[in-house]
Structure 1
Amino acid sequence: MYSIAFFFPDYPGAEVNQSRLIHNFWSAQIYTFYALGYYFAEKSINQQIEIAVRDKEIAEQKIAIAEKEAKIAKQELEIAILAKEKALAEMAFLRAQINPHFMYNTLNMIFERVRKASREAGDIVLAFAEMLRYATSTKSQEDEVGLSGELDFVKQYIELHMQRFHYKVYIDFEEDGDFTYHRIVPMVLITIVENGIKHGIFDDPEIAFRIRATLIDDEFVFIASNKKNPYPNAIADAGKTGIGIKNIKKRLLTTYPAEAHSLEIIDGEEDYTVIFTVNFNLLKK
């Protein structure tokens, strides 16, 4: 190896200059090292700052999205509340316009007059009066009503319909269980039955409209199955009516947990079946 001293003239003090040069060289290396370290440290810090700023922007965007979704949810809730209040107000207005007690008493008077001429006609008026009193009562506007009362309402409706067609239609209704101590969303069962009567055909015992209501181990099952009318255009008043079968699902979800009830619709080529189930045990939890 060659000594650095060979690069310098041989004169007094040359070794001192050589030592100083070496010192300066290593000092420069140290400064360079520190400069590189500072450069990379600053670069790393800037990168971390950029990442932090980007993460902050992303977090702010997520917060903004969440706030927007919360605002939309709040607006939807307010709309739903307003819709419910509107419906209740309309029902209250209807009851104010036509006092149900007045109508019921009037029908009772008609019943007394008509029954003298025709017992059958009198029974029809009486059945209709009972249905009207139940349908316009404040109970029907509650979130839940007695299950036995709802089933009685369904049976009255069926009897009235059969009398209307002089018992030339066939509706097979069976029930099994004690329905006295349970409550249910009002007007759901009658809507299911009304839908079957409106869109079904049951003028033959072989294709009767079959309705089953059972309560076993606190599980209520209501099944309505009918033969489809092959001539739907011939159905009177075939347009949209009331809350409808599809809207029942939304109504039930506002009262029951999803795991405690179900509304299954089996829409076959010739048959239409609705299966409504409520597990009262799950409602108690």
Structure 2
Amino acid sequence: MIFKKYNTNLFVLALVIVVALVPIIITAFEVIFTDNKSVIFLGNYHPKVTILVISYYILLFGVGVFWFTKQLIAIAQLKNEKAKAELMLLKSQVNPHFFFNTLNNLYGLVAKDTKKAQELILKLSDMMRYSIYEGEKEIVTLEEEIDYLKNYFELHQMRYHKNIVIHFNADIDENCKVVPLLFIILLENSFKHGVETLRENAFVKVDVVSDKNEIRFTIENNFGISNNEENKSGVGLKNLKRRLELIYPNKHKLSFSITENVYKVQLILNQL
């Protein structure tokens, strides 16, 4: 059926081209094979025929422009759909290992400390609910995103059997919007490559500032023995960089720096 439709379209296109070329072929024939030194295009035709042919060419040009525009729109839509599909895939890859690790911790905690296990389950439930339902949205309030990060902090403080110094400062515009689940990757890295490499004196410092023009997210953590190259180019950061390219093209800046044993990341987003 598709092959038959393709052949029909091809036949119609060929017919249109042939009809369009007839006057040009006749004129070329007169120039080449007659003694006339010059030939006026459509000069030997009846005026009505001339008007009809010219009208046909104008119509053909209009159809061509319409077809070309339609193809451009189709290509743009295809790219947009491809980008959306890629974004959905990237979102689905955000922090699943964190949830699995937390569930494994809960398994051992249930028998030892039921009350703490229940608190962990509630926190984990809140985070999973946000990831599933709010994470599907194209945009959320920055305040909602910050609450999600705070839940992450609280959950980790309950998980670890060591003191972690956490500084969390947020000075934001309450009307500020952001794409969900961007900052969590940086926060996860601060624990994976920072807190988890230290037995004591671990700290994580987060500073979020926003106004009507931009969002500035800064995170610092100290570290022990850690693969800093992996911290800069791991799967999570590749995911984040790709999402930023798709959502904030030329509207973001992601920078990394290391001073002694302190790792610092800053992400600046221009408002959409």
CA 1:225–1:89 in structure 2 vs 1: closer, same or farther (change >3 Å)?
Answer: closer
Q: Is the 8 A contact 2:222 2:261 kept in 1?
A: yes
Counterpart for residue 261 of structure 1: 252
Counterpart for residue 23 of structure 1: none
CA 1:254–1:172 in structure 2 vs 1: closer, same or farther (change >3 Å)?
Answer: same
**How many angstroms apart in 1 are the aligned matches of 2:126 and 2:237?**
24
TM-score normalised per structure 2:
0.54
User: Which residue identity is paired with 1:188?
Assistant: L
Question: Following TM superposition, by how much is the alpha carbon of 1:208 offset from its aligned partner in structure 2, in angstroms?
Answer: 1.2
Question: Following TM superposition, by how much is the alpha carbon of 1:173 offset from its aligned partner in structure 2, in angstroms?
Answer: 1.6
Match of 2:118 among 116, 122, 132: 122
Match of 1:158 among 153, 165, 168: 153
Match of 1:132 among 117, 124, 128: 128
Question: Following TM superposition, by how much is the alpha carbon of 1:85 offset from its aligned partner in structure 2, in angstroms?
Answer: 2.4
Equivalent residues in 2 for 1:197-276 (5 A)? 197-201=191-195, 203-205=199-201, 207-216=202-211, 218-232=213-227, 241=235, 244-258=236-250, 260-268=251-259, 270-276=261-267
Question: Following TM superposition, by how much is the alpha carbon of 1:118 offset from its aligned partner in structure 2, in angstroms?
Answer: 3.9
Q: Is the 8 A contact 1:170 1:204 kept in 2?
A: no
**How many angstroms apart in 2 are the aligned matches of 1:86 and 1:175?**
31
User: Structure 1 runs of 4+ off > 6 angstroms?
Assistant: 74-77, 89-92
Question: Following TM superposition, by how much is the alpha carbon of 1:141 offset from its aligned partner in structure 2, in angstroms?
Answer: 2.4
Question: Following TM superposition, by how much is the alpha carbon of 1:86 offset from its aligned partner in structure 2, in angstroms?
Answer: 6.3
Counterpart for residue 30 of structure 1: none
Q: Is the 8 A contact 1:168 1:203 kept in 2?
A: no
**How many angstroms apart in 1 are the aligned matches of 2:224 and 2:75?**
42
Q: Is the 8 A contact 1:219 1:279 kept in 2?
A: yes
Residue 161 of structure 1 aligns to a residue in which SS? helix
CA 1:82–1:218 in structure 2 vs 1: closer, same or farther (change >3 Å)?
Answer: closer
Q: Work out which of the two has the higher radius of gyration on C-alpha atoms and give 1 or 2.
A: 1
Percent identity between matched residues is: 28
Counterpart for residue 188 of structure 2: 194
Map Cα deviations across residues 118-167 of structure 1 (whole Å, 9 max, x no partner): 43322211111100111111x31233222111111111011101100145
Q: Is the 8 A contact 1:169 1:203 kept in 2?
A: no
**How many angstroms apart in 1 are the aligned matches of 2:225 and 2:76?**
40
Counterpart for residue 181 of structure 1: 175
**How many angstroms apart in 2 are the aligned matches of 1:147 and 1:262?**
18
CA 1:215–1:84 in structure 2 vs 1: closer, same or farther (change >3 Å)?
Answer: closer
Question: Following TM superposition, by how much is the alpha carbon of 1:185 offset from its aligned partner in structure 2, in angstroms?
Answer: 1.7
Aligned pair 1:149/2:144, yes or no? Answer: yes
Residue 210 of structure 2 aligns to a residue in which SS? strand
Aligned pair 1:279/2:262, yes or no? Answer: no
User: Which residue identity is paired with 1:279?
Assistant: N
Residue 135 of structure 2 aligns to a residue in which SS? helix
**How many angstroms apart in 2 are the aligned matches of 1:135 and 1:200?**
24
User: Which residue identity is paired with 1:152?
Assistant: D
Q: Aligned residues, how many?
A: 179
Question: Following TM superposition, by how much is the alpha carbon of 1:82 offset from its aligned partner in structure 2, in angstroms?
Answer: 3.9
Which structure exhibits the higher relative contact order, with contacts defined as CA atoms closer than 8 Å and separated by 6 or more residues?
2
CA 1:75–1:272 in structure 2 vs 1: closer, same or farther (change >3 Å)?
Answer: farther
Unaligned runs of 5+ in 2: 1-73, 94-102
TM-score normalised per structure 1:
0.51
Q: Is the 8 A contact 2:91 2:135 kept in 1?
A: no
Unaligned runs of 5+ in 1: 1-73, 95-106
Residue 221 of structure 1 aligns to a residue in which SS? strand
